Amino acid sequence: MGFLVNPIAGMGGAVGLKGTDGRLYAEALRRGARPVAPARALRFLSRLREVCRGCAELVAAGGVMGCRYASEVSLESCVCLDIPTSSETTREDTVRVVKELLRLGVEAIVFVGGDGTARDVLEASGGLVPVLGVPSGVKVYSSVFAVSPEAAADILSDYCHGVGAIEVGELVDVDEESLQRDVLELRPRGNAPTLTSGNLRVSTKELGGSEDLEGLVEYFVSEVYRPGALYILGPGSTTRAIASRLGVSKTLLGFDAVLDGRLVGRDLSAEDIKKLLAVFREAYVVLSIVGGQGYLIGRGNQQLTPDILRMLGKDRIIVVSSRGKLRRLRYVLVDTGDPGVDRELSGYYRVITGFGEEYVIRALPASDTETLRSRAT
């Protein structure tokens, strides 16, 4: 099995960027972004060592693109590629590594990154072998990703033991320049064979439809919203409709803070949110659910870092959603980057779906593969 890591994937999320590709990487560094992909890679490899027990030989990219993490977890049966990469890794490095993996005859390729990395892997592999993504990017909208690093390891182990499956996954990506203008357009980038098992792989993200949100919005404003409290509205068309009813202009893809009908913070970073929580004693975060994929926390809202979520707790998270999204979901997922925080935030949530209408749904840690498997049937 081939293995490679995009070490900069996901760095832009906590600092309020909508990606890390191209020039956004330099901006992420300027804002003080920290790498997140290495921790994801270590979680995947640690779980793989536990469940696979030598069932597969890994051929990994060198250094920060793979072998460094295999060495840290003392993974056996790992071969390191001896090919040069840039000091600051680029998409050309990804393409070069994938082509070398194919030349060596790997049966599948596992990568750590987001939609941009998936696109580069597909371009280089040409769909000749199955691919599987360990989610780490700001943008993880394609259906070639496992729900978590642990799930990716379990999928790979199942495949090696003959109980996994190969399906066709859809690759989508967005134009990051459009994202910076607060416009989300998913563009098909092709299909790729991908590995799967049970409920451990995601679906492609659904864009919001034209469902009527008037009742939901009116209920929130008249029955939930309280004067003097700070509301930090998360990404999405549902929360933007709430902001519009409150008389403020909200970003589609960012976090914005509202107090007594006034916008007091726009397109907030994790650091901005921390500062607001330190000042306002009564503060709530309002979140919607990622359509199709079913994530409550961990996709598109990485500004909510584990330390922020610990400060908040479950009681200060308000969930809103259209009825249509919930009809297709049996549970929602939490993937904060810290499995301990994921467990703290698991359990049941009330979801506002209309005027006087609420729906109760269970949130599961994305790393809890045992429970996810039990829900496959």
Does 304 or 85 have the greater pLDDT score? 304
Residue 297: pLDDT band (50, 70, 90) is: very high
The owner of tokens 């199709």 is 292
pTM of the model: 0.90
The C-alpha atoms of residue 36 and residue 298 are separated, in whole angstroms, by: 12
Strand 58-60, strand 2-5: pairing: parallel
Residue 125, judged by CB atoms within 10 A of its CB (0-12, 13-18, 19+), counts as buried
pLDDT average, residue stretch 36-40: 94
pLDDT score of 92:
93
4-25 pLDDT per residue, tens: 999 988 887 777 776 666 666 6
Residue 295: pLDDT band (50, 70, 90) is: very high
The token duo for 105 is 């005859």
Q: What is the CA radius of gyration of the chain?
A: 20
The C-alpha atoms of residue 51 and residue 150 are separated, in whole angstroms, by: 10
Average pLDDT, the chain: 90
**Contact indicator for 150, 124 with CB cutoff of 8 Å:** no
Does 21 or 50 have the greater pLDDT score? 50
pLDDT score of 147:
95
pLDDT above 70 for 179: no
Q: How many CB atoms lie within 10 A of CB 103?
A: 8
